[in-house]
Structure formats: C-alpha cells, structure tokens
Amino acid sequence: MTEQAAGPEGEGPGRAALELADWRRRISTLYAEVRERAASDPRAAWDRWRTVRETLYRSHPQSPVPSAARSGFRANHWPYDPGLRFEVEVRVAGAEAAGGPARHPAPRIPMSAGEQLDFSRIGQVSIPFPDGVRSLELYWMAGYSGGLFLPFRDATNGLETYGAGRYLLDAAKAADLGIDPATGRLVLDFNFAYQPSCAFDPRWACPLAPPENRLDLRVEAGERIG
C-alpha cells in the first residue's frame, strides 16, 4: 500500500489485516460513488466525500487518526471552488510498455519514515490555475497493486496544510477521480486534495511530494489542518 503503519496498533496482525481490507473496500466504494456523482454535480460528490471520510476517520479502527483523538475528530476544508476542477491531458514521454504504463527513470520520492517505495514517472500534466499554468509529474507505484500517484506541495504547507504536502490521487488506495470517457482526459479536482496519514500520526510511513511537484502558489482547496 502507498501508506504503511510503522508500528502495530490493535489486536494483532490478523485482525488489522481484516480491518484494513474493510477500510480499502469502503474507500473504493466511496470513490466509485464520487466519480458517478461528479459527472453531473461535482459539489454534491465533494459533500458526500467529506461526510463519509469524516465518519471513517472518527470511527474506523484503521483510521490514521490516533485512537484517543478519533471521537472528537472534525475534518476541515476550504469551501468548494469549481474553478479548481480540471480535466487535463497526460503528456507521456516514450512508448508505453505492453500491458502497463510507460517506464522512465525511477524518481526519488521522499518518505516520512521507513524504506523507499518504488515509483515510475509516467507523464506530466499542465494545470491552468487562475494564477497561471503549472506542471506536475504523475507517477505509477511500481510495487504492490500499482496505481496512479499524484502528490503535491503548495504555499499553504506548514500553515493551513501538512508541511510535506497533500495527495490528489493515490489509486493504490482507491483515491482516483477517473478519466472523462468522452475526452480521455484525467480528472484533477483539487477540492478533493487530502493530507497523508502521517499528517495525523507519525506511526504512518508515507511517500511525500518530490521537489518537481512543489507549486509556487496557494491551493486553497481540499482538506486543511485547523
């Protein structure tokens, strides 16, 4: 998985594995619902996303929030901004390998703790922010189940958001906003940006945004701290 617990919590590895499977199942179901609703009403999809995630963070045994803080946990978000939802073309450098994503030199993805995870850089997206176009690198997790991964940093980090950045896509854990079937473009909605698990508890080891995904502007959308 993209984020891993650095130490045990709960009643042993067997129970934890079953709880984690349930967490993934619930998140996968949530994002499937989000993709369906967002096709006609992105704001309603976002409302549903916030509500379900907050409930899971408060009550689920695999919540990244420490056990003692769960009952009082409340998620904080900027108001929904329709101007920060984009459908973008992925610029892929080189031919795709048969049956999988294009492979390029492995980037150095920093980790909050633990061993380095393997990623491939598969392309780049240009995002027409109100303050001008900015580019982000798009990654594929080489191990585990694979999946798109798009972390980013911006000028809110360390103030309103986690200092090491947020996630927009993490398909290994079902956080995937989809592709527009009519255009083939990737959906990137920064209102769905969220903190990695290590923002809540250092027992989690998380891959973080590399230097090439650090934006020189404020992204006032998505999940915030406080």
pLDDT of residue 141: 86
The model's pLDDT over 3-23, given as tens digits with 9 standing for 90+, comes to: 666 544 445 678 888 998 999
Report the SS3 class of residue 12: coil
The model's pLDDT over 161-217, given as tens digits with 9 standing for 90+, comes to: 999 999 999 998 889 999 987 888 999 999 999 999 999 999 888 999 999 999 999
The one-letter code for the residue type at 12 is G
* CA 167 – CA 146 distance, rounded (Å): 16
CA 143 to chain CA mean position, Å: 17
The neighbouring-strand residues paired with 138 are 123
pLDDT of residue 10: 47
Q: What's the mean pLDDT in 62-87?
A: 95
Alpha carbons within 13 angstroms on the beta-carbon side of residue 75 total 23
Q: Pick from 3, 20, 2: which is nearest to 11 by CA?
A: 20
